[in-house]
Structure 1
């Protein structure tokens, strides 16, 4: 044993107490503004279906159409892998998991659209369509055929359509309440938001509905669609999107990038409007930084190139969609929009390949961290959080199975969640 060190200090305890007291308001502000990720499942995509086209069989129809496209244009693992450039090792597991997903849960998040996909209609017609959407969604949750998340996109809060949007939301939510209550997977989407005040007005609207029906305060949350340049940069030079999150008063659940409205707003020509355009990258980067730590999640947009027509054209569209999805995943945009059943095979192929490619490395690094073992990478608690979050997202979407993750990491799902969320566990504790 070496010589015992003598520990000496110079500051009185009152100094620490005074500093802590002075920073107490900051501590509270950090907790309020940056509560961290909610720890719930995030869908890998959102599917938009016009209000008049939504039916009881829509989810199953999308899955069946996607399976039919696979049967016609890539009937086996080898042909599908050849189209997308998947390795031999990934070809079979990705193909089989994609087919199983399309059979079991073809859509993770569905929005019945009353905005651009629906357009202006007579008031009586939109009323009936909104009431019908409420009835069908309530029935789907009751009989077990619902997607994990479902809801509507109303018209925006701009003056020309504001009253119509408010009425549609009221009809829809009232229908759900009368049909048995609001489902846990309910999601509302507010489009074309330009000013934080529009977000604040929407909060007041939701508060009024909650009070009218005796619901818990804050029961209704919503996504904010970023589709205008002003939503990113305000006239005074501030980042509007950050102010929108605060204006939502804890109700914002997501920021969704609107590829084509935003691109058009900046004057990008139609041929170059895409989610990998530099203008799109800038907008999403600002969204990502504004949302970091707030519990608000960021979603990429969509492609309007549809996999329809002859096989060669379908393959081209699949490769484009697959590449854009993989690009988004690498940039930590774990959700996007899908506009056509033909996008489902490549959405899931890209997601499954992303998680399966990195499974063994992520699992090994997390296992070493949890066991405090050495390795060629020195990971910190923040990295352990990222590694466990990666594995949990892979489990949630069906890319990974819990037995294989447990075998590779030695960790249960509860262990993974404790690493992924510091609010639910100590990041530095090793699982036993």
Structure 2
């Protein structure tokens, strides 16, 4: 048969059969679109910093950056000494160190939460009212004058009966203060801690809906993070996976699932000496969170370490190595965000993040370039892999690990083209023919 001769094609199913299959699956199609919209495509911060409400002031972001730089100056004043502590290669030592210092000078904190929960504790109502109003005023001012972290907000008290009314009032005072100061900033983030039942998420949804209605905001404008800190948040009394039900209960408002290392560990009876984000109990909880959130647009954050890099240099170096290792471990497991509890944690947070993205840069860029150009290579990549490759590059760009020019040079792709690969249509992810 000549190459130009058209192949004879025969079928056995009528159009009516195909149409019937489509009609039968239409509800499933709608459910997939509603429950699994995919990643929102916006920037995800690499960390969250928690600051007690009474300690937060207009200079907090800059103060954390200055204290982090001071820790570097004292305990690792040059690329070689920092690389020796963390085990960085000679090739990475200079670029990582320089980028860490530049980041601490330019944008030391990516996400800051003014804490009214564990870090703040119970206070007289008048005192917490004042602190919530003050937080609103300072955050509004920071976004207005350009000194804000990209993301800022509060962690309120939880929905348990003993503190519920106080948490709701703090949320109301804070949001009302932002509105009075000019409106809700785009980088606003709210955290609901110690969630145990989906109904608590529903209650938060209803509160936010009522606030939006009272202030004339677009329905669904305000989202929030769900903090996973209890066993009930992972496995309900009936044996179902509670975290998946919480995401559905949020009605599209949930933006993240944040793992609480120490509350969750204590809830399971893990002794204090073994409470860590790499404990098997932590890995199990985060794996459940990860699967429940996949495809929903809800992002995952790892927890923190409570080993602080303070004291003599030897002790600081040991804490830095621990933090660096835990952060690299989390990144390899696709937990792209975590908590930082002290300013001296920030240098190793960024060192781990920058090293991770720079180590994977050349291979990811080459593979994505071949894929985009349909060029042969030693790896058979598919749309799902192209999504992961472009996601790696975009996250590296967002945090400052990579530069736009070098990514464009190595991939031949613009940022909009990278974003298109990172957010393919649902059907494209299962396609094998490029």
Fold shared per TM-score above 0.5:
yes
Equivalent runs, 1:317-332 vs 2, <5 Å: 317-332=319-334
Q: What is aligned with 1:129? A: 131
After superposition, the Cα gap between the structure-2 partners of 1:425 and 1:411, relative to the gap in structure 1 and judged at 3 Å, is: farther
Matched residue of 1:347: which SS? helix
Task: Tell me if the contact between 2:323 and 2:345 (Cα under 8 Å) persists in the aligned partners.
Answer: yes
Of 314, 317, 333, 2:316 maps to 314
Of 251, 256, 265, 1:263 maps to 265
Q: What is aligned with 1:188? A: 190
Q: Is the aligned partner of 1:390 residue 2:389?
A: no
Q: What is aligned with 1:19? A: 21
Matched residue of 2:374: which SS? coil
Q: Is the aligned partner of 1:29 residue 2:31?
A: yes
Task: Tell me if the contact between 2:327 and 2:352 (Cα under 8 Å) persists in the aligned partners.
Answer: yes
Q: CA deviation at 1:4?
A: 3.6
Q: What is aligned with 1:352? A: 354
Q: What is aligned with 1:169? A: 171
2:99 and 2:259 map into 1 onto residues whose CA distance is 28
1:425 and 1:97 map into 2 onto residues whose CA distance is 39
Alignment length, in residue pairs? 431
1:426 and 1:261 map into 2 onto residues whose CA distance is 40
Task: Tell me if the contact between 2:383 and 2:428 (Cα under 8 Å) persists in the aligned partners.
Answer: no
Q: Deviations 1:361-407 (Å, cap 9, x if unpaired)?
A: 00000000000001000000000000000000000000000100000
Q: CA deviation at 1:239?
A: 0.1
Q: What is aligned with 1:229? A: 231
Q: CA deviation at 1:5?
A: 2.0
Task: Tell me if the contact between 2:354 and 2:400 (Cα under 8 Å) persists in the aligned partners.
Answer: yes
2:102 and 2:213 map into 1 onto residues whose CA distance is 43
1:4 and 1:144 map into 2 onto residues whose CA distance is 64
Matched residue of 1:151: which SS? strand
Q: How large is the Cα RMSD of the aligned pairs?
A: 1.5
Equivalent runs, 1:283-294 vs 2, <5 Å: 283-294=285-296
Matched residue of 2:331: which SS? helix
Q: What is aligned with 2:252? A: 250
Q: What is aligned with 2:297? A: 295
1:272 and 1:424 map into 2 onto residues whose CA distance is 41
1:235 and 1:129 map into 2 onto residues whose CA distance is 37
1:265 and 1:425 map into 2 onto residues whose CA distance is 41
Greater shift in the superposed pair: 342-351 or 415-424: 415-424
Q: CA deviation at 1:424?
A: 11
Q: What is aligned with 2:83? A: 81
1:130 and 1:159 map into 2 onto residues whose CA distance is 20
Q: CA deviation at 1:422?
A: 1.6
Task: Tell me if the contact between 1:419 and 1:425 (Cα under 8 Å) persists in the aligned partners.
Answer: no
Q: CA deviation at 1:18?
A: 0.5
Q: Is the aligned partner of 1:412 residue 2:414?
A: yes
Matched residue of 1:308: which SS? coil
Structure 1, unaligned runs of 5 or more: none
